[in-house]
Structure 1
Amino acid sequence: MNQSNINDTAGSSGDMAVVGEGTPNRTPVSIQVLQNIYHELTGKSEEVSKTYDESFHVVFNDFKQLNLRIGQICEQYNICSSNCSVSVFYINDTKDTFSSFERFEAFNTGSTSSVESVLVTYNFLLILPKLAQPQSYTISVRIASPVAIQRKMSNIDMPKIFRLMGGARTAVVSIKYVDYAVARTLLNTIDEWFNALPQARSNAAWRFIRSHTDWTPLITRYLAGAGVLALMIFLAPYYLNSEASLLQLAHFLLISGACIFAAYKIADHLGTAAEDSIDDWLDLAYICITDGDKKEVALAKSRNQGAIVWGILKLAGGLCVSIAAKLIAFRITNIP
């Protein structure tokens, strides 16, 4: 374009730019035209994307709603051609691919395989009002099922941090475009669909507990250690009197140290076990379109209930170590 200056003229027209500003050949040009020229010259398409970490509950009818929304928003454009493909990925490393959404609607929901993720892809050729050439747009919507992924990863020996990170991203939307305004319209439509999906909810207190489970071993071991130490100080007069020998003192200190160390380690193990149990609890985010998914969701709910019960029991056990030590000591010494 002969080193022309291109500037936005947002003050006068939201969809116009000026080519050759400050020269005798100053010409207002539509943003659509400029974007199309750039695409024709470079052959490149831009991309906009958005990721989600909410715990969505997606059923088969929700995909129909997504297809309906995209079809409705595209009615305002002059569509030359379009196609849709759907890929369903299973946790047993198999995949079903459907060449159209109509074929996907005939999907076998009676399958016993659990769905790991679903990828819906739309390709459009559309002509904008101020252009004569069609432009290519690609929409990709990928939704994961963390419930199924967790089950798959449970068979893999890996650090806990990687297991937790595996379920962080639940959906990704990407749009390859030529005209940014069209891409934003499409993205907003898909975003509204995601916002309408049901989600797992947890209260603020439980979220706080789950975000600070690393405190659990620290709390249990220091409370247990402090409790047993206080107990030994309380019992000292019953074992040591004014006539106690140095050997008796050494014997008492040795027993006290061993009891404090044992209580500290037992409480630490129970606190760590309680932390692991609570960390096993996950917000239920899933895709449920097959009989296998229904079974997987039921198992996930059962795991969550078990994680809460075992977490409470192990935490209570860690906190009760000092109490148990006190009762044993009182029983042995016959202190009322």
Structure 2
Amino acid sequence: MAKLGKAKLMAAVFRGFEAAGCTVTPISAPGTHPIRFVIEKGAVHQTVRVYIWNLTHGGGAARPKHEYRIQITSGIRAFDPEPDGITLILGWSEQFGVFAAFDASRRKSALGASPSIQISEATLNRARVIGAAVQDKGNGEFAVAVRPDRLLGYVENQSQAHAGDVTAILTPPSEDEPSDDPDDTVLEDAIQGRREFRFGSTEELAQRPNVLERLAALEREVAKLRPALASRGHNRPPELLPTETETLAGQIEEAASSARTELQNPEPSVAKVARSTKFFRWISRTAAAAKAEAGKLGQKLKEKARDRTADFIVAGGLFGGAALWEEILNLINLVTNEVLKWLQLL
């Protein structure tokens, strides 16, 4: 696949932000690399500095076959941080339709001769399907892959993403008024670190297995969707098997895995667990709202449903039957309840 010039690479970046409803105002002159610009959307006003290259396969016989990389060229000797802004180090893949994003905070020193930064094919593929994915590169470094429609989410949650948590990127931003639900407040306080948490009490340690048991059950149910996904195009017409279902299944798996991994640590990241739970509550509410709308229309979806995720939750029979989706949604609610109990014990 032919490499893109810098102008087309930056056009891909701009399209991602504009698709999210951002206004993009360039600061640097055309043809400059890195390029600097301002993105604005509502309360978001962010100056961004972007270094970008084509993401390519290769690096010689010594490199793994399933590895992709950016090769640092254009005379770049170091990644300069954006004062009072954010710096992005990106690679764009036309093949996968995703960006690879690397942690600028770990690359503050001078670069060596012809350096490259790698990411796996599996990470790129997963991001293509679910929107965002991380790869643990060791030594506390995580590479991120993100679809253009999630690029704004990456900018807003860059530190979390490079700490291995992309749940906030996967959760669509709410356009509603702030919730007065006390459970939402509990989760938001945990995400924002508004209080101290103490681990190790008898009650807290007794509650963790309950959460882990529910998470394991949820992951088992989601795994049952895989045979249907694998048979796409064989036993059923492809148009009846929307890729969004695969997206949602992957997002649920990502959130469940993130929460489970943390809860197995002696002192888990409460914020990560709460972000996964916030995502689960969004899924549950979306499903409830969509089913209510479908009921008003004689179990038929509106021609322009307000949320594509709602479309295929309601039409859950497309993948293993509505009963399977109902059980997944039931387990999501059970996980949420158990996490909220756990948070109250900290």
Fold shared, TM-score > 0.5 on shorter chain: no
Q: TM-score range by the shorter chain?
A: under 0.3
Q: Which has the larger radius of gyration?
A: 1
Identify the structure with bigger relative contact order (alpha carbons < 8 Å, sequence gap 6+).
Answer: 1
